[in-house]
Amino acid sequence: MSVVVDRLWEIVGGSLEPGLVRAARMLVVIWPDQAPAERVVVLDAGEDRFVEVAGLPPLYQADELVLSDDGTRIVGVDPGLRLFVHTLATGQQQWFDRDDVDGHVVGAFSPDGRWIAAATMVETGIAPGVGEHRIAIEVIDIDTGAVRSVWSAEGYWDECAISWSPDGRLLAATYMSLEEQQYTVVLDTDSFGVIATFEDRLLLTSPHGVWLGNDEFITYSEVDVYLAIIQVDVSTGHCRERLIPDPLTDGYIGGSNGRLVESSEWLRGTDTTQVYTSNLDGSDRQLFITLRLKADVNRVDIPRGRVLGTDSHART
């Protein structure tokens, strides 16, 4: 399958049909205006057409779905906080039920597709600040279902994200402490020891858009009226901050190869929604997706190695 997304894309809402695909080059989560639920769409790697994913179970949060690096599977969580892997070619799921934890929130595939790192709620308490609130990162062997808890803390998976480095050597996750302070913790996957913790640094929720290299990842923070994009080098601990004054976006819903996918924009008075990409400093905004539907685009996930660009056109 092609490893490059190098086109302007157009999605025609009325032409989308559920279907099975061998692999996907991109996942897009759409919430049409006044619709009761989101629609999950993938770009068929074989035919370069958009297809609505067939056979997905009810979802806890559709905008937390993640593609595997080879584009053949999706990991998600149902409303009962049960983790599952959905195979695009068959429409079938593999479930990872747990009776000894309160549930999973989000998962991410390892680069080789053998493992899932899952943000797990061990104990959720009665209410915020009342009772025990303990969270964990678990690594699940997809073939056997074996589970290993590799990290835990008191806190919440609020605005959480989890992501493997491209070489699988590091695992990063964002969580909130009991004092409601956000942290990103980085683990070495050889020992699963903590090698770095960064305060007030939040990972992008799309795991494939987080990493700039095997040791560098992107976080964000809000500073007064500015949006700060912070490039973190785990090997040195150095953080390079880019302040974007009056950003043209409400946030970021994905990324690839150092470019960020911005929140969608509805063109007032039309049935057209647009999605742009930009550099880390907000410059060089380029149109990426045109959706012929009044909607919010809540997630764009592009498996590692797919490059955003704008040199040709494709249509559903």
The CATH number for 169's domain is 2.120.10.30
| 29 pLDDT above the threshold of 90 | yes
pLDDT confidence tier of residue 227, bands split at 50, 70 and 90: confident
How do residues 142-164 score in pLDDT, each as one tens digit? 999 999 999 999 999 988 999 99
pLDDT at residue 174 is higher than 80: yes
Token pair recorded at residue 57? 């179970």
User: Looking at the domain assignment, is residue 1 inside a domain?
Assistant: no
Q: What is the CA radius of gyration of the chain?
A: 19
- Domain membership of residue 181 (yes or no) is yes
Question: 92 lies in a domain?
Answer: yes
Say which residue the tokens 């960064």 belong to: 198
Number of domains within the chain: 1
Residue 205 domain flag: yes
14 within some domain = yes
* Per-residue pLDDT at 314 exceeds 70: no
Is 2 contained in some domain?
A: no
pLDDT of residue 2: 35
The more confidently predicted of residues 243 and 224 is 243
Mean pLDDT of 231-236: 93
Burial of 183-214, coded b for 16+ CB within 10 Å and e otherwise, reads bbbbbebeeeeeebebeebbbbbbbbbbbbee
99 part of a folded domain = yes
Please list, in sequence order, all residues whose beta carbon lies within 8 angstroms of the beta carbon of residue 60, skipping any fewer than 6 positions away: 76, 77, 78, 79, 80, 81, 105
The boundaries of the domain holding residue 168 are 8-315
